[in-house]
Chain A
């Protein structure tokens, strides 16, 4: 009896020791939208074992129409989120202490796509037209742009009529809106798939209009960043994530397949995902994950220049940190 008990204790100690040695840091990542090529880097890093090699056990939570990542992290449902800077800064002003730790997307993919037969040739022609916007945190760049153009969003002949479009391109196809918001990697191609050829569309890229804001970035709370072990884990996470993006850039079709394998809804198609991964790679560019502070300041300037309805009322302090990316660069 005594032998069995002591043997059992020894065995338990052995297991716990090995378990302690192999204990991976677990992180929960909340994506900004549903599983799709926009997040190829994360899924590639997960499925190709880059996170495992970095000693991380990453749980990727897909988002969706009713999931606001800032809310999820405010409620403690995630350690790190993928979010756009305007929404993150707005959340920070409302008391959620989010801090940008990395910026995988260098360029902005947001566009306003109009039908050519609405005779909109330049932003000055927006007056009196109906424009579709997503809301749920995605309306900030649009509101800043309208403010910059001096157009009221209340409607009427001197302003623009804004409708809240669902997450589809129906308003353009049904002619319920003259222009709709599209992402260069997603909805734009849905419009083409729906049968409207590219030569019947006029596209305004936010990047070209000078009102682009930083999009997919990684954010964590100040509380998380106060823990050095978490900073270390996040640094490994960002490094493995950028490895994932680099792999996706070299193997876009395989990355698209990995995204499809992770899509629980079965709603995504291979052709659409391959296209999306191809377009998103362009937005990531040669980013190594480090946030370009000049670009961040530019985003803040765009948001503060919101005029009558500014997205944020004052310049944010401590809204981004290089602590994680600096630590990442010291790693082999």
Chain B
């Protein structure tokens, strides 16, 4: 046991020194390759240490399986993981996300257009966001059935408010000088909205989209704990933990992490294209 700990300590210290050296170089003459290498080396070291400590210290696999066992499980159950991914992500998350963000966006436009809605609807949106998902999910299952529509409904509830609030803030972001300019050009409400205020609101909108991508995935997975057909990421996690197949649980976690990171990265890429003019994108 002490041997394992000693080797782990050596690897950890070695990695720290390597990363510090690389970071110093990157700070000076940063290259894209280097910026990619540093987090990769960091991650690889963590995985190596995990493998070493779980195998070397004899940690029971039901408590924490080693990464190699998890990878083996991912490969062996790839069909099952794909079916779960389709059920949860492609159906519940994507559809719920599109509906929730769309609804939030439309409501924000309405709130902006009609001030009386701002006073009435915004507090209601506040209330909707405070509803605990653990309480809402079983009710959605009762209303919309066991399959993915109830999960999409939960996602809609979770993503509605962040989108609403951020879009309302974004629509107020266009400066008074620019709005005056549109007025001098005799721009109507819709022209001003389309050409000035919506583009100016995009940084806020993308903020909400990025937040919502995380919330949507969490919402769909947790909603599946409360009644589901026997396929889906949340179902698989809760069923397999009951069977003590913790390597399958970690495999699902890995799939969820990859899906969440990939969607966030896609959104960040889209954000860079759309809001190229914003100071945060010009650094």
**B146 contacts the other chain (Cβ, under 8 Å)?**
yes
Q: Which residues of A contact B61 (CB under 8 A)?
A: 94-95
Q: With A74-B62, A135-B239, A176-B146 in contact, do A94 and B230 touch (Cβ < 8 Å)?
A: no
Cross-chain contact A68 with B62 (CB below 8 angstroms): no
Q: Which of B60, B228, B230 has the most chain A CB atoms closer than 10 A to its own CB?
A: B230
Counting CB contacts under 8 A, is A268 at the interface?
no
A170, closest chain B residue (CB): B142
Closest to A153 in B: B230
Interface segment out of the listed A9-17, A35-43, A160-168, A204-212? A160-168
Question: Contacting A166 at CB < 8 Å: which of B145, B226, B230, B241?
Answer: B226
Binary CB contact string for chain A from 76 to 112 against chain B (1 if under 8 A, 0 otherwise): 0000000000010011001110000000000000000
Asked if residues A136 and B239 are in contact (CB atoms below 8 Å), the reply is: yes
Confirm or deny: A174 has a beta carbon within 8 angstroms of a beta carbon on chain B.
Answer: yes
Q: Which residues of A contact B242 (CB under 8 A)?
A: 68, 87, 135-138
Q: Does B282 contact A (CB under 8 A)?
A: no
Quick one: which of A123-160 are within 8 Å of B by CB? 135-139, 153
Identify which of B228, B235, B241 contacts A71 (C-beta below 8 A): B241
The CA of A163 and the CA of B148, in the complex, are separated in Å by 12
Q: From residue A147, how far is it (CB to closest CB) to chain B in Å? A: 15
Q: B275 at interface (Cβ–Cβ under 8 A)?
A: no
Which single residue of chain B is at the shortest CB-CB distance from A174?
A: B142
Given the interface pairs A94-B62, A135-B238, A153-B230, the reply to whether A163 lies near B146 with Cβ below 8 Å is: yes
Using a Cβ–Cβ cut-off of 8 Å, how many residues does chain B contribute to the interface with A? 22
Tell me the complex Cα distance, A136–B245, Å.
Answer: 11
Pair A95/B60 contact, Cβ less than 8 Å: yes
* Contact present for B229 and A74 (CB under 8 Å): no
The chain A residue with its CB closest to the CB of B138 is A166
Q: Give the contact-size bracket for chain A.
A: 20 to 34
Considering only residues 122-168 of chain B, those with a C-beta below 8 Å from chain A are: 138, 141-142, 145-146
Q: Are B243 and A163 in contact (CB under 8 A)?
A: no
Q: In the docked arrangement, what's the CA distance between A162 and B243, Å?
A: 17
Report yes or no: B244 in contact with A164, Cβ–Cβ below 8 A: no
Closest beta carbon of chain B to A260's beta carbon, Å: 25
For the complex, is A197 an interface residue (Cβ under 8 Å from B)? no
A176 to B145, Cβ gap below 8 A?
Answer: yes
Q: Are B244 and A96 interface neighbours, CB within 8 A?
A: yes
In contact, B243 and A137 (Cβ under 8 angstroms): yes
Which B residues are CB-close (under 8 A) to A138? 242
Contact A171 B146 (CB under 8 A): yes
In the complex, which residues of chain A have a beta carbon less than 8 angstroms from the beta carbon of B244? 68, 70-71, 74, 90-91, 94, 96
Give residues of chain A (283-317) contacting chain B, Cβ–Cβ below 8 Å.
none
Residues of B close to A95: CB separation below 8 A: 60-62
In the bound complex, residues from chain A placing their C-beta under 8 Å from that of B226 are 166
- A135 surroundings in chain B (CB, below 8 A): 230, 235, 238-239, 242
The smallest beta-carbon distance between A140 and chain B, in angstroms, is 9
Residues of A within 8 A of B141 (CB): 166, 170
Contacts of A90 in B (CB 8 A): 243-244
A-B residue pairs, 5 tightest by C-beta: A136-B242, A137-B242, A135-B239, A94-B244, A163-B146
11 new A-B contacts at CB < 8 Å, known A136-B241, A164-B146, A165-B227: A71-B62, A71-B241, A90-B244, A91-B62, A95-B62, A96-B62, A135-B235, A137-B242, A138-B242, A164-B227, A176-B145
Task: Give the A-binding residues of B (Cβ under 8 A).
Answer: 60-63, 138, 141-142, 145-146, 226-230, 235, 238-239, 241-245
